[in-house]
Structure 1
Amino acid sequence: MVGGRIYFALVVALSCWEMALALKCHCDICTVETNYTCETDGFCFTSTSLNRKTGALIHAYRCLPQWQSFPPENPILCQPSGSGPSDRFQMVVQCCRHRDLCNVEYVPTLASRSADPESGDSIWFVSGTWETALIIGIPLAVGIVLVMILLSVRHQKRRRMINRRVVDMEHNMDSADMPILGHNGVGAACLRDIIEMTTSGSGSGLPLLVQRSIARQIQLMDIIGKGRFGEVWRGRWRGENVAVKIFSSREERSWFREAEIYQTVMLRHDNILGFIAADNKDNGTWTQLWLVTDYHENGSLFDFLNRTTVDSTTMVRMALSIATGLSHLHMEILGTQGKPAIAHRDLKSKNVLVKANRTCAIGDLGLAVRYDATVDTVDIALNHRVGTKRYMAPEVLDETINTSHFDSFKRADVYALGLVYWEIARRCNMGGIIDEYQLPFYDVVPSDPSIEEMRKVVCVDRQRPSIPNRWQSYETLRAMSQLMKECWYANAAARLTALRIKKTLANLDAPEDVKI
């Protein structure tokens, strides 16, 4: 009984002693009844943290019990380095226990982003920068390497595709007609002689190995033109001028298509631009796609008309030569060495070359289509390019053209031919009066019209280039203006054929400056 009382007295005394030793701390979450204080057997602490959403600083005053303190004599939470370098930017804690309410006097500050990297307080910042750099930099570097690998693979694939197509073209050539080339080329003959010797009258292009031999001996001299496909250069081959059309690598389809069309059997004609060679050259950085043709120093009909006027005889000669070339393109020649019918699809003054005798030759066959009579289909190449909007026929502009009917393409060519004739006629000197050179529809559409603008003018308003009244006073110009109108009909079926135009012009007498 006495022992129990003694034990109870000891427990009470111990509790009073512990209560006397308890540390009082300022507590911001305690009640008024406790006078905003808490008691602990550990530490008082003050913390400063950052609200991520608002950016505001939050200060907290609390008690840290002994059982939460590790190690008990110097808790990690209370150490200056914090629990981690990056954590010091989010929260900083300062502890004390030297007297009651000691945490009231502390207001710890967050580590600064601009802290000196050499000081201890800035270790978190340097470490964070490297961690961020590694997290962002490594995936970025891997992505760049992958893109470079993909681009390299694509380039190699494109080169292999071009080489494979060239090999396929080689296999289709008749090697029996191929001349033997010495180290200086084909004897001492000129290009015309080589073409006559090697084509055996077929009218197709040279055998491909001959084309390569010629192309590799060409020296580029100066640039003579640019287009959306690439550039045109004047080149020299053993003293002769040639034109070299260099396609950019993304225009591979246009290059291959044009080379393929030019080498169609029986295509060679005086009024079709003379094809010499096609070759692909790798300069180590990119692949150049070459198309070598005859060189005409007068340039395109567009350039020629801009700087020169013509008389009535020259006008008729030019018009007749273009119609003759187009008629040959459109014509199907039957037989074992026959030629399929071909439609140009991009006939305009810039795609017509003026020869030394002032007759013309049609060039740029990159958009041409062929008609296969055996299966009654139109061979339309997969090509992202379209024709020139200014020269598009009404049915092309309003998308009513029947692409499965080959005559539709021929009629669209005839419409464009009428516009080219209008350009020539404006530059004809009759009675000392000459109009300045202009493109068709220059007065109703901007320099680079859209499809919608051309559709409104040609299809909705049914406008055509204006024909001056004075043309009716001269027989040749009157006949030319009548031809133009018959090429421009909105009803494509009512337009003249290229052959009919050729015959009309062949019978046209063109005495100069004779008034009716």
Structure 2
Amino acid sequence: MRISRGIVCECSGVSACPDGSANSTCTTQPGGYCFVTVEEVLDDNGLVVLERTAGCLPPDESGFMQCKSSQVPHQHPKVIECCEKDYCNRRLRPQLPEPPPDVTETPGLRPTATVPHTALVAAALCVALLAFLGAFWLLFRMRRKGCKRPPSPPAPAHHAEISSGSGSGLPLLVQRTVAKQIQMVESIGKGRYGEVWLARWRGEKVAVKVFFTTEEASWFRETEIYQTVLMRHENILGFIAADIKGTGSWTQMLLITDYHENGSLHDYLQTVVLDTHGLMTMAYSIVSGLAHLHMDIFGTKGKPAIAHRDIKSKNILVKRNGQCAIADFGLAVRYVAERNEVDIAPNTRVGTRRYMAPEVLDEKLDVTNFEAFKMADMYSLGLVLWEMCRRCTTGDKAQYVEAYALPYHEYVPSDPSFDDMHTVVVGKGIRPPQPARWKSSATLQALAALMAECWHHNPPVRLTALRVKKTLAKFRAESAVKLV
């Protein structure tokens, strides 16, 4: 039978249905598919097993998962078959192709036929028995001589984490498991890098950023930055996991992070009017995140200084507590203090033209000087502060506030070219205007002074993120005293 709302599929008993159904079936929209996948995975004992997954594929995901079978080098083989009728995936039986006889197997990925399993078990038992007897004999000798066992060395602080030095997110071996457990719910945003989905993992809402195949460099750099030691901060988007999977015909590059229902600062400001307390909370949280990013922490497990390179209201998320979190590190650069070098990823993507600093538009930024990247971030921060101040009341709630607008909206088109921005910012030296009403508010006056110093034409004159953070902290403390 056909159902007008879409196609009915059977879900695997191993994984939950995408729509949360409990009866092992799910539905998709017209134009979707039923599918069955078979993939080699490692079980808890490290042995290769076949995992079968079935379910529904919405039309929106057709660009990410094409129904063709192939194998990718250095990955476990995976085959997917699709069909377009109700329950048709019950009849699908995809088979993994046999590897060629001369393929050199990677240890641990496939069971080898040269050594029987029973022989391996017997050898392991023998080794364990010899080790036990040796330890017993050593302990016996020590007791006879009246010796004490030397104290055990303290366990390293990171003993519970199986990782390669990642400072944020789950252990690397766990991240691939997380990606398999994700249940996509709905698309909540699109950009030049790909698409963001609301998803569920272990009953909690998470955000999944799915990158276009052309944006592999951005995915790799963002994953790399998020896993930097000591990267985690309350005002930097929380990273959970990253994974890249697929076959020769489709690839999914996933980045899984915390989900914030208020969305980006850009979207939030369009419908919400701030009071001075909310404005200061947001501004302080943003600059706190940026100061942590710019800071290098020395030590055995230190954190390198990082510059964002694409600070804008769309890359800042609003948390439920009124604070913000900085996101999107696909363009970030790191400073390697040991070699006095700037680590720039080989990425063809550039920043957002509207928020580019004058020296970037003038193509005079010294890419060998890390401080130059930090000062470009500060220019962009000044523009974000301007966007926020326009949406803050002065006095009564009925007081007039400006409609939300992007910086330079009155001078350039909605999608300005490089030349458009160069003419306005560099050629004419224009900066966003500060409304006269701001002078009636001490908070807006303070932020107006800061943003003017942040977007100064001369980079060395601009304030650092740490200086802005300290200034705002002092202003908040003084304001609290006055209220008391």
The TM-score normalised by the length of structure 1 is 0.61
1:453 to 420, 423, 426: 420
Kindly name which structure, 1 or 2, has the bigger radius of gyration based on alpha carbons.
1
Contact 1:353 1:360 (C-alpha < 8 Å) held by counterparts: yes
**Given the superposition, is the C-alpha separation of residues 350 and 249 from structure 1 closer, same or farther in structure 2, using an over 3 Å criterion?**
same
Q: Does 1:425 align with 2:392?
A: no
Q: Does 1:286 align with 2:286?
A: no
Secondary structure, in 3 states, of the residue corresponding to 2:317? strand
Letter in 1 for 2:233: H
1:231 to 174, 180, 195: 195
1:211 to 156, 161, 175: 175
Task: Write the distance in 2 (CA, Å) between the matches of 1:420 and 1:156.
Answer: 46
Contact 1:312 1:476 (C-alpha < 8 Å) held by counterparts: yes
**Given the superposition, is the C-alpha separation of residues 162 and 293 from structure 1 closer, same or farther in structure 2, using an over 3 Å criterion?**
farther
Q: Does 1:306 align with 2:273?
A: no
**Given the superposition, is the C-alpha separation of residues 465 and 206 from structure 1 closer, same or farther in structure 2, using an over 3 Å criterion?**
same
Contact 1:202 1:337 (C-alpha < 8 Å) held by counterparts: no
- Counterpart in 1 of 2:225? 261
- Counterpart in 2 of 1:371? 335
- Counterpart in 2 of 1:416? 380
Task: Write the distance in 1 (CA, Å) between the matches of 2:386 and 2:70.
Answer: 47
Task: Write the distance in 1 (CA, Å) between the matches of 2:219 and 2:388.
Answer: 29
Q: Does 1:492 align with 2:459?
A: yes
Task: Write the distance in 1 (CA, Å) between the matches of 2:190 and 2:354.
Answer: 19
The TM-score normalised by the length of structure 2 is 0.65
Letter in 2 for 1:393: A
Secondary structure, in 3 states, of the residue corresponding to 2:181? coil
Contact 2:182 2:200 (C-alpha < 8 Å) held by counterparts: yes
Higher relative contact order (CA 8 A, sep 6+): 2
Task: Write the distance in 2 (CA, Å) between the matches of 1:196 and 1:235.
Answer: 31
Task: Write the distance in 2 (CA, Å) between the matches of 1:486 and 1:197.
Answer: 46
Q: Does 1:472 align with 2:472?
A: no
Contact 1:271 1:360 (C-alpha < 8 Å) held by counterparts: yes
Task: Write the distance in 1 (CA, Å) between the matches of 2:387 and 2:263.
Answer: 16
Deviation sequence 1:29-50 (CA, Å, 0-9, x none): xxxxxxxxxxxxxxxxxxxxxx
* Pairs within 5 Å for 1:133-144: none
**Given the superposition, is the C-alpha separation of residues 293 and 475 from structure 1 closer, same or farther in structure 2, using an over 3 Å criterion?**
same
Q: Does 1:443 align with 2:413?
A: no
Question: How much identity, in percent, do the aligned residues show?
Answer: 59
Deviation sequence 1:366-387 (CA, Å, 0-9, x none): 0000000111110011101000
Task: Write the distance in 2 (CA, Å) between the matches of 1:291 and 1:250.
Answer: 15
Give the count of matched residue pairs: 329
Secondary structure, in 3 states, of the residue corresponding to 1:438? coil
Contact 2:291 2:465 (C-alpha < 8 Å) held by counterparts: yes
Secondary structure, in 3 states, of the residue corresponding to 1:241? strand
Contact 1:205 1:264 (C-alpha < 8 Å) held by counterparts: no
Q: CA deviation at 1:238?
A: 1.3
- Counterpart in 1 of 2:294? 330
**Given the superposition, is the C-alpha separation of residues 504 and 335 from structure 1 closer, same or farther in structure 2, using an over 3 Å criterion?**
same
Q: CA deviation at 1:280?
A: 1.4
- Counterpart in 2 of 1:390? 354
Deviation sequence 1:377-413 (CA, Å, 0-9, x none): 1001110100000000000000111110000000000
**Given the superposition, is the C-alpha separation of residues 358 and 161 from structure 1 closer, same or farther in structure 2, using an over 3 Å criterion?**
farther
Q: CA deviation at 1:198?
A: 4.0
**Given the superposition, is the C-alpha separation of residues 324 and 160 from structure 1 closer, same or farther in structure 2, using an over 3 Å criterion?**
farther
Secondary structure, in 3 states, of the residue corresponding to 1:246? strand
Secondary structure, in 3 states, of the residue corresponding to 2:475? coil
Q: CA deviation at 1:206?
A: 2.0
